[in-house]
Structure 1
């Protein structure tokens, strides 16, 4: 049963199928819907500078290196704020923090509206761009909140849908920008469109979302998650998937402009396709992970990402725009698939750890929710730092070689390491012991990660 007081739900047990079928699923889906809306707009505001730099022609006085540095710093702030945003859910409540975090998006949007004109200094653009980074934090708080609403058997789908709906804010703002450029509008038109949408998202969260009293501020959970090596292993794998997605989302248009001499309009016609498909397929990655295991899907996804990157290197070397574009869009799709499968692994890992400790039923589920929720903020933050690395790699590659080829070689090496880590930690079967041999860790809780 749920006892509600001022938008707070006092009791919540999604693993109880009777409760879930009677009332839990309906409430969880409603909160998921409005969480997606707020996170969606947060992603749009976070990545708006990937669009704004396309508007910023020679009259703005910015070099390609300046633009890559600007987008790198925006990505960096978005990664860092994910940590406090994760724990804000437990301090303020999921509904309450969604209202606040949505409202805060007005700050970078109004600030960008005020300064977006030729003659503004690069330092000013950089400072205002840093404000947009708070939009990246909405993902962490949203994922932590939604993770608590759904049972383990539904988490892959729910977290994939939540994240995919948020990620799709990237291509949406790029599509809106395409329409505005096509209509000869300016960047202030784009910014002006989002101001009322932010107000709507905050209002709907206030009217229709709930707080879960069971999600309490637990600094012990944060410390336990930070001490667990699997938090950092999954952070590394998430650099490979989500770090690639957000980094490429910022960089794709600029690479087309600087390497293939595309105009802003020509670049905008293409740049939205990759993030759109990558966002739409993220729930599919979660669903496949629910069925076949997140580690297996993640492993083979890194193989495919490596293959797509190899094609990009060839296309970049041969200066083939058509092949380059197709391969880049394909790589975006794979980043989205991997995003879904890696995030499914997180609750599975901590649920398995609970069972290895001898916990059962609701006790095991509560342990898993506690640590997976705490770890998601750290994993999301570190993963987003991959976007910083990608933009800095492109910046250095263009400064050194005049193209993005050098950066793609580095990315290929990274995906190879991600593949090896996934196999070694989560899929490699331990060697069979000879009959009668006693393991050195006899009596300690053992844990197989083969099913996550």
Structure 2
């Protein structure tokens, strides 16, 4: 591989070896960086569209749209579910159709949910079922993450994967606070009666992402990620454990990102705000958490490169358990005083949630760094393959698991919204029960991380008997 023959006019690179240091330094890094930039742009827009209903619900007064708080939590859970499930086919799409080709398609297909949302918000007299179906369409935006991460995983060498995957995912994740900021600007300047402006902005951005990907991204040859590879990856015990841990990190990020604005809006309404005031006050705060979580993701990947994914993940879950404890205490005080505690409780809730966003971002980066590290270690135990074959096997398994873990992690976001919905429907009519559930889950994740990846320091580099059998399957 030389820098001169890497890129052709057809945007197709037949032979790509990111581990070739000479080729990387003589031009390969620039090609990878260019693909990373436009991958981030397309994934960013996908995340924004995926989370668009977390913004739309702020434009939906109950007396106009007839949907209460519990109904809104369920409404934003639907695109979370669809986005999680669609990540599995999206994972294999870049290998089958090409990273450039699929990025263009996945950006253009976002126009469908945007147009449907635009129509529905301008015509609020439709049934709740219709709202659910249109919200489900927004789930296609969640698939962009899996295809983008799998594609960028193939472009970067092992020594830089934590940084590259963290930056790619963080740039995509930041699409959540950006669309919330746009919603805030609309509410602050026009009021909560013009949601069409948010949709119109993203119709333009989808076009920009598609054109940029078509002009500046490349398809790689020799990519073999497919559903069979995913099946082989899932024969490893570590694959299921990583997916479980990702529920605690990414599931927290996306679930809270979709729900935080509603939780704030409910608290502001309980404090005496009118519906427009509550929407504005919630929008002024809601974007901060997802923004910090998105920025923290590359940092989590970089720390994992330097210190180790298992250690950073363990520390992260420990800190998330502490943040959840703050929420439990605040919720308990609020329930006991029937809301009389007022400002201090609201401040504690905001700080607790922002801490969870920040920590979940760090954990997202560290957990995903563990994926290529685990398969790189397992590849060294393979017999009958040369070094290039081991590297190809590691890339294939890592790419397959990235998509599966992303799908399972997204389901965690569904769980958060459903737990919050059930909590607000409980006799207490508060989120305290949900906060207890979050605390318990983070404690379990902390124990699992320690027991599997840190209790035996060599665990990540061991190839257990059942894993060896899986490798040869």
The TM-score with structure 1 as length reference comes to 0.94
- 1:103 corresponds in structure 2 to 108
- 1:16 corresponds in structure 2 to 20
Q: Residue 182 of structure 1 is aligned with which of 175, 182, 188?
A: 188
How many angstroms does 1:298 deviate by?
0.2
Matches of 2:219 and 2:26, distance apart in 1 = 19
How many angstroms does 1:3 deviate by?
6.1
Q: Secondary structure at the match of 2:201?
A: helix
How many angstroms does 1:364 deviate by?
2.4
- 1:76 corresponds in structure 2 to 81
How many angstroms does 1:49 deviate by?
0.2
Closer/same/farther in 2, CA of residues 442 and 36 from structure 1, 3 Å limit = closer
Q: 1:289-304 to 2 correspondence within 5 Å?
A: 289-304=304-319
- 2:146 corresponds in structure 1 to 140
Q: Residue 377 of structure 2 is aligned with which of 352, 361, 371?
A: 352
1:168-202 Cα shifts (integer Å, max 9, x gaps): 00000000100000112510111111111101110
Contact kept, 8 Å, 1:260 with 1:321, in 2: the verdict is: no
How many angstroms does 1:367 deviate by?
1.5
Contact kept, 8 Å, 2:250 with 2:361, in 1: the verdict is: yes
Contact kept, 8 Å, 2:225 with 2:400, in 1: the verdict is: no
- 2:58 corresponds in structure 1 to 54
1:334 aligns with 2:359: yes
Give the gaps of 5 or more residues in structure 1: 432-440, 448-452
Give the gaps of 5 or more residues in structure 2: 270-276, 335-344, 469-473
Closer/same/farther in 2, CA of residues 360 and 288 from structure 1, 3 Å limit = farther
Closer/same/farther in 2, CA of residues 28 and 443 from structure 1, 3 Å limit = closer
How many angstroms does 1:123 deviate by?
1.2
Contact kept, 8 Å, 1:50 with 1:250, in 2: the verdict is: yes
Q: Secondary structure at the match of 2:430?
A: coil
- 2:339 corresponds in structure 1 to none
Contact kept, 8 Å, 1:303 with 1:416, in 2: the verdict is: yes
1:122-148 Cα shifts (integer Å, max 9, x gaps): 111111000000000000000000000
1:85 aligns with 2:90: yes
Matches of 2:397 and 2:7, distance apart in 1 = 25
Q: Secondary structure at the match of 2:170?
A: helix
Q: 1:14-413 to 2 correspondence within 5 Å?
A: 14-58=18-62, 59-116=64-121, 117-185=123-191, 186-261=194-269, 263-319=278-334, 320-357=345-382, 361-400=387-426, 401-413=428-440
How many angstroms does 1:34 deviate by?
0.2
1:277-300 Cα shifts (integer Å, max 9, x gaps): 000110000000000000100001
Matches of 1:269 and 1:113, distance apart in 2 = 23
Q: Secondary structure at the match of 2:208?
A: helix
Contact kept, 8 Å, 1:106 with 1:195, in 2: the verdict is: yes
1:414 aligns with 2:441: yes
Contact kept, 8 Å, 2:225 with 2:396, in 1: the verdict is: no
- 2:342 corresponds in structure 1 to none
Matches of 1:188 and 1:82, distance apart in 2 = 28
The TM-score with structure 2 as length reference comes to 0.90
- Of the structure 1 ranges 258-267 and 23-32, higher mean CA displacement relative to structure 2 is found in 258-267
Contact kept, 8 Å, 2:225 with 2:397, in 1: the verdict is: no
How many residue pairs match? The answer is: 438
Matches of 1:91 and 1:317, distance apart in 2 = 52
- 1:437 corresponds in structure 2 to none
1:7 aligns with 2:32: no
How many angstroms does 1:217 deviate by?
4.9
RMSD (Å) for aligned C-alpha atoms: 1.9
How many angstroms does 1:444 deviate by?
6.1
Contact kept, 8 Å, 2:224 with 2:396, in 1: the verdict is: no
